[in-house]
Amino acid sequence: MTSPLTGEQLAALYDTENTWAADDEFFLAFVNERPDTKVLDLGCGTGRLTLAIAAAGHRVVGIDPDFDSLAAAQRKPESGNVDWVGGTSSQIPAGESFDVAIMTSHVAQAISNDDDWAQTLEDVYRSLVPGGRLAFDSRDPAARVWERWTPANTHGSYTGSGEEAPGNSR
């Protein structure tokens, strides 16, 4: 299904719908357990968490296959503090080593092919220093959240400014 929105509009909508939350707090705390680390954010999207990690004093490489999301990330303040790379785990910069690698916002679930998942894990493992850590999240199927994915619970309107239109809720 194609969208009538441009890539830039989709990235802006993503940022509007996906604001800082408990999962961001978890991953930032995870990274902050070790100060001044080199972090790989695989599937960094529009950079919400990536930029927060850099602001906390870490060196960060953000990789994402969606070039419109990366462009949105690069337009944000302080984006120059992150090395942005377009692509997948195969584009992890050669010779770079990371203390921590993260895949947030259910990025791991977007890699649905078993061979691609195995390759991603191999690429990340190869890029981690000895004792380096990988953290990712996944939806809990026992929560059965799809049962709440109804028009009444999911339809909403947003203005071009990125704010939800009055009278609409999700």
R_g of the chain, CA atoms, integer Å: 17
Helices then strands, each counted (H, E), the chain: 7, 5
Alpha-helical regions (H) of 33-89: 48-55, 67-74
DSSP 3-state assignment of 9? helix
pLDDT exceeds 50 at position 169: no
Rounded distance between C-alpha atoms, residue 32 and residue 61, angstroms: 16
Which is higher by pLDDT, 146 or 129?
A: 129
* Per-residue pLDDT at 60: 98
pLDDT exceeds 90 at position 2: no
pLDDT exceeds 90 at position 155: no
In this prediction, residue 138 has a pLDDT band, given cuts at 50, 70 and 90, of: confident
* Per-residue pLDDT at 1: 66
In this prediction, residue 113 has a pLDDT band, given cuts at 50, 70 and 90, of: very high
Among the listed residues 100, 91, 95, the one whose alpha carbon sits nearest the alpha carbon of residue 65 = 91
| CATH fold of 7-154 | Rossmann fold (3.40.50)
Rounded distance between C-alpha atoms, residue 128 and residue 8, angstroms: 32
Rounded distance between C-alpha atoms, residue 27 and residue 18, angstroms: 15
Among the listed residues 21, 51, 43, 55, the one whose alpha carbon sits nearest the alpha carbon of residue 134 = 43
DSSP 3-state assignment of 78? coil
Domain segments of the chain as ranges: 7-154
CA angle, corner 119, sides to 117 and 125, nearest 5?
105
CB contact at 8 A, 80 and 108: no
pLDDT exceeds 60 at position 164: no
Retrieve residue 95's tokens: 């010779």
Q: List pLDDT tens digits, range 37-86.
A: 999 999 999 999 999 999 999 999 999 999 999 999 999 999 999 999 99
In this prediction, residue 118 has a pLDDT band, given cuts at 50, 70 and 90, of: very high
